[in-house]
Amino acid sequence: MSSTWHILGAGSLGSLWACRLARAGKAVRLILRDGQRLQAYQQAGGLTLVEQDQPRHYAIPAETAQAHGPIHRLLVACKAYDAAAAIAGVAARLADDAEVLLLQNGLGSQDEVADLVPRARCIFASSTEGAFREGDWQVRFAGHGFNWLGDPRNPAVPAWFDDLHEAAIPGEWTVDILTRLWRKLALNCAINPLTVLHDCQNGGLLGHLDEVDALCAELAQLLRRCGQPQAAVELNEEVQRVIVATAANYSSMYQDVRAGRRTEVHYLLGHACRAAGRHGLQLPALERLQQRLVDNLRLRGLPCD
């Protein structure tokens, strides 16, 4: 099996992973959207990672999805709403033993990808690392966090997992990856939409704890109904800890809305509401929140799916 890390999605997290793997001497190749993006990348000469205000340049090879050659290991680091289309563009290149790492927010996109590449092993990831793009091909490492990876269908640790340790990518293999993903989805549902609706930093929600409490109660009920009781344990307490710890931060959804970008609402709050519907759960606070958010996005001329 080839040891090359193909990385689909040269945004903030994709670039962060690419630079750290390349720095550790791992073979890395970026897969870019089209020839125009490839040309722009080649003119820049690579990616720049800024850590502790120190920029460092990495001349990582790149190609388009239409390039030839098999892909054995693929990190999909694009937004949840782009993941299925992105994987469709390279599906024909995936080797029979391919492993696909999915670094998307929320839930739903992982199953969309897995359905498109049934022969590949799909590994789900949940990340709390922070990074943001300062410009084309330049990313700043904004916050140390952690990465949990797992495969709901296969508990075996992949042979390449030591690459993460060698690249100083903090990570742990877990057999309970779905619990991690559901827990993170619930945290996002309790915080992100409210920051958009109240136009505030995360800490601004300390003035709206009645709303937060009502949402957490319903989200915990949903998690238990979906077979994720561990993800529901002390959810409200953790949400409030996150709000305090990140009080000066703007949520990712808030940042997307302010920048006029599409949000990942379909895979966050939308997924939670659809799951509630499938289980016949009446969750009025969650349903009202989704309607208010959809109305807000429509007023701004942004997609609400």
Which residues, at least 6 apart from 126, have a Cβ–Cβ distance to it below 8 Å?
147, 148, 149, 177, 180, 181, 184
What distance in Å separates the CA atoms of residue 79 and residue 52, rounded to the nearest whole number?
A: 26
Structure tokens at 13: 């997290």
Could you give the strand order of the β-sheet that contains 130-135, starting from the edge strand earlier in sequence?
Answer: 54-58, 47-51, 138-143, 130-135
Q: What are the helix (H) ranges across the chain? A: 12-23, 35-44, 80-90, 109-116, 162-166, 177-197, 209-225, 229-232, 235-245, 252-258, 269-278, 284-299
Pairing verdict, β 147-150 and 171-173: parallel
Question: What span, in angstroms and rounded, lies between the C-alpha atoms of 183 and 186?
Answer: 5
Cα-to-chain-centroid distance, residue 58? 23
Six token digits for residue 277: 């519907």
Find out whether 131 and 15 touch, Cβ atoms under 8 Å: yes
Active site residues: 184
Distance, in Å, from the CA atom of 107 to the CA atom of 230, rounded to the nearest integer, reads: 17
Q: How far is CA 203 from the centre of its chain?
A: 22
